Structure 1
Amino acid sequence: TGTGQYWHESVDLGDSLEQRGGRSVYKGGSRVDLDWFGPVWHPWLGTGLGWGQQRTGNDLRFNTPGWGDSGTDHTGFGNVWNDDSMTQYTEVYVDGVRVDRKMSSAAYAWDAPAQEAEYKVVTETALDRDRWRLGTKGRSEWTFRSAETPSDRVTHLPMLNLGLDLDTDLHGDVRAGGRLPVGIFAEYVKDAAGTGTIRTGTLEVSYDEGKTWRKVALKKDRHGAAWNGELRIPRGADSVSLRAGASD
């Protein structure tokens, strides 16, 4: 691209799903491998999102698309208004009181308290099993504290992205009866203010559609907020569900 121009990449699945990357920079003569539509699908509040996770004075705006494909900085948008095989609902709580709920990735807290309060954003996704097969249910939560910010500019809120590193085949399948390396990593959304140090990562796994959960032992990576573990998938298992978390 020329001076003053930026390169973004977007890959669509019909009118139902868009995977949007952040700003890309490629050097002439280089070769870069790109991965799209890989599991595990989950919210990723990436740099290509455009807006969200912001506070201006006492107005807060959230945008939490639910189907990022685990590619680098990929945010996944579902057309929940025109495709009845997918739904997403997003809620905002202030000190435990729900102030908004929408069928959307977006939700808001208008005229929030000026004093510091606890905020929780919850988004729930669902996909029709007959069409999508995998990733049929998802739930993500972010909890943080915030007080009034300057009203003449946007302040980015200290919310975390949580990523998953899991090797599957092109259909999103893994072999039962074996061991599978798994990794999780966390980082703040770009330009977040009031950040701390991400200290803790947790992971649980279920092989019966979330009826029972097992804790996965994790080892912290030497570099950054990342942890690695191993799944021991039982013979005869039909599915793998993951429940991960990170905190500062």
Structure 2
Amino acid sequence: MTADRVAAQTKLSTRVSAEWRFWSKAANPSKRRVLPLLAVKISPELDGRNLAAAGHMRIPLRVQRQDGSPGLPLRTLTLEISYDDGRTWLPTPVHPSGRHGWAAETSHPFSARGKFVSLRVNAADIGGNGFSETVIRGLSDQVRPVRPRRALTGRGGAVRHVTCSRTTTGICRSVLRW
């Protein structure tokens, strides 16, 4: 399945394609069977404007299945990133993260500033069932630079330093040091 959007409507997710691969038996009209479909939820850690931080970025992945389908172990789970609308792809390490979760870890190169980020995920289980999804321009065209420390003047002329780190909700969490 592929969906395209006109760039005038939005700059993000201009092309999304997904493919499901699965094995099934001949249909029995008297018995309903759940297909062993996989899907992968990609949840990049972004700010409120859908911007990714420059430098290190964590991308949580969650493999999802239909209720009632067999929970076969995964054989492969990969994530690739592109900064040129899918012409070239860079592999991204994926590792287990938490209960039933996975995460990809990447570092946006300096050359990615001001570019769109496209994502491609592939998953397959030991039963031969699989899922692939490509999202062209999945993240905003501005990779958010890491905010440097700022010196502020406190009470009595004392200088305090504020370190700001983004959370998944886009709210700035500050650490004050006097």
TM-score, with structure 1 as normaliser: 0.46
Cross-structure match for 1:184: 61
How many residue pairs get aligned? The number is 123
Kept after mapping to 1: 8 A contact 2:77/2:123: yes
Cross-structure match for 1:208: 84
Question: Aligned to 1:142, which of 20, 27, 35?
Answer: 20
> What is the CA-CA distance between 1:172 and the residue it aligns to?
1.8
**Structure 1: stretches of 5+ with no match in the other structure:** 1-122
- The alignment status of 1:161 with 2:39, answered yes or no, reads yes
Kept after mapping to 2: 8 A contact 1:186/1:198: no
Summarize the alignment of residues 119-130 of structure 1 with structure 2, pairs less than 5 Å apart.
123-130=1-8
The CA RMSD measured in Å over matched residues stands at: 1.8
**SS, match of residue 86 in structure 2:** coil
Kept after mapping to 2: 8 A contact 1:207/1:237: no
**Structure 2: stretches of 5+ with no match in the other structure:** 126-178
Moved over 6 A (4+): none
Cross-structure match for 1:173: 51
> What is the CA-CA distance between 1:144 and the residue it aligns to?
1.0
> What is the CA-CA distance between 1:150 and the residue it aligns to?
2.4
Equivalent residue letter for 2:50: G
Paired-residue identity, %: 25
Summarize the alignment of residues 1-248 of structure 1 with structure 2, pairs less than 5 Å apart.
123-175=1-53, 177-192=54-69, 194-221=70-97, 223-224=99-100, 226-235=101-110, 236-248=113-125
Equivalent residue letter for 1:143: R
Q: Aligned in 2, Cα 1:124/1:135: closer, same or farther, shift over 3 Å?
A: same
> What is the CA-CA distance between 1:222 and the residue it aligns to?
5.0
Kept after mapping to 1: 8 A contact 2:93/2:106: no
Matches of 1:242 and 1:220, distance apart in 2? 19
> What is the CA-CA distance between 1:237 and the residue it aligns to?
4.2
Q: Aligned in 2, Cα 1:189/1:139: closer, same or farther, shift over 3 Å?
A: same
> What is the CA-CA distance between 1:179 and the residue it aligns to?
1.7
> What is the CA-CA distance between 1:196 and the residue it aligns to?
2.1
> What is the CA-CA distance between 1:163 and the residue it aligns to?
0.7
> What is the CA-CA distance between 1:245 and the residue it aligns to?
1.3
Q: Aligned in 2, Cα 1:219/1:136: closer, same or farther, shift over 3 Å?
A: same
Higher relative contact order (CA 8 A, sep 6+): 2
